[in-house]
C-alpha cells in the first residue's frame, strides 16, 4: 500500500508538477500577452496624445496667424482714421480762423455803418462808398470780397 500510495502520491505529485508547470507557462504567456496588449495600448494612447497636441498646436498657430492679420487690419484702419481726423482737424482750424476774421470784419463794417447812419448819410451812398473802398483796398483778401460785398448789400 505504501508503494501504491507512494506511486499514487508520486504520480499525483508528478502530475501536479506537470500541470503546475503547464499552468505557470500558460500564466506566464497570459501575463506576457497582457503586457504586450498594455504596451500596444500605451503606445496607441501616446500616439493619440501626440496627435492631439499637434492638432492643438496647429490650431493655435492658425489662430495666431488670424489674429496677426486682424491686428494689421485694425492698425491700418486706425492709421487711416487718424489721418482723416488730422485732416478734418486742420480744416476745422482753418475754418475757425476764417470765422474769427470774418467776425472781426463784420464788426468793423457794422461800426462804420453805425457811424455813417448817426451822421445822417443816405444808406445808398454808404453801400456804394463801402463797396468802392473794399474794391480799392488791396489788403483785403480777394476770396473775402464777395462775402463782404454781400454783407454790405444786406444793410
Tell me if 130 sits within 8 A of 145, measured CB to CB: no
Average pLDDT over residues 143-151: 46
| 110 located within any domain | no
pLDDT tens digits along 75-111 = 999 999 999 999 999 999 999 999 999 999 999 999 9
| 88 located within any domain | yes
- Residue span of the structural domain in which 91 resides: 8-97
Q: How many domains does the chain have?
A: 1
Smallest Cα–Cα separation from 126: which of 113, 144, 111, 109? Answer: 113
- CA distance readout (Å), 93 to 104, 140, 141: 17, 21, 18
Helices first, then strands: H and E counts in the chain: 3, 0
What cell numbers appear for 11 in the block?
504520480
| 149 located within any domain | no
pLDDT tens digits along 4-19 = 444 444 444 444 444 5
| 16 located within any domain | yes
CA–CA distance, 103 with 43 (Å, rounded to integer): 87
What pLDDT band is residue 151 in, cutting at 50, 70 and 90?
Answer: very low
pTM for this prediction: 0.46
Amino acid at each position: 500500500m505504501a508503494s501504491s500510495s507512494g506511486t499514487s502520491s508520486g504520480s499525483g505529485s508528478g502530475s501536479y508538477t506537470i500541470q503546475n508547470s503547464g499552468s505557470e507557462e500558460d500564466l506566464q504567456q497570459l501575463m506576457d500577452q497582457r503586457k504586450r496588449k498594455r504596451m500596444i495600448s500605451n503606445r496607441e494612447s501616446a500616439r493619440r496624445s501626440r496627435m492631439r497636441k499637434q492638432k492643438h498646436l496647429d490650431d493655435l498657430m492658425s489662430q495666431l496667424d488670424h489674429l496677426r492679420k486682424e491686428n494689421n487690419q485694425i492698425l491700418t484702419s486706425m492709421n487711416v482714421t487718424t489721418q482723416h481726423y488730422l485732416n478734418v482737424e486742420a480744416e476745422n482750424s482753418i475754418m475757425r480762423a476764417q470765422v474769427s476774421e470774418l467776425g472781426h470784419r463784420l464788426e468793423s463794417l457794422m461800426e462804420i455803418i453805425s457811424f455813417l447812419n448817426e451822421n445822417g448819410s443816405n444808406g445808398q451812398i454808404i453801400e456804394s462808398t463801402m463797396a468802392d473802398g473794399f474794391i480799392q483796398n488791396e489788403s483785403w483778401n480777394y476770396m473775402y470780397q464777395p462775402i463782404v460785398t454781400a454783407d454790405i448789400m444786406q444793410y
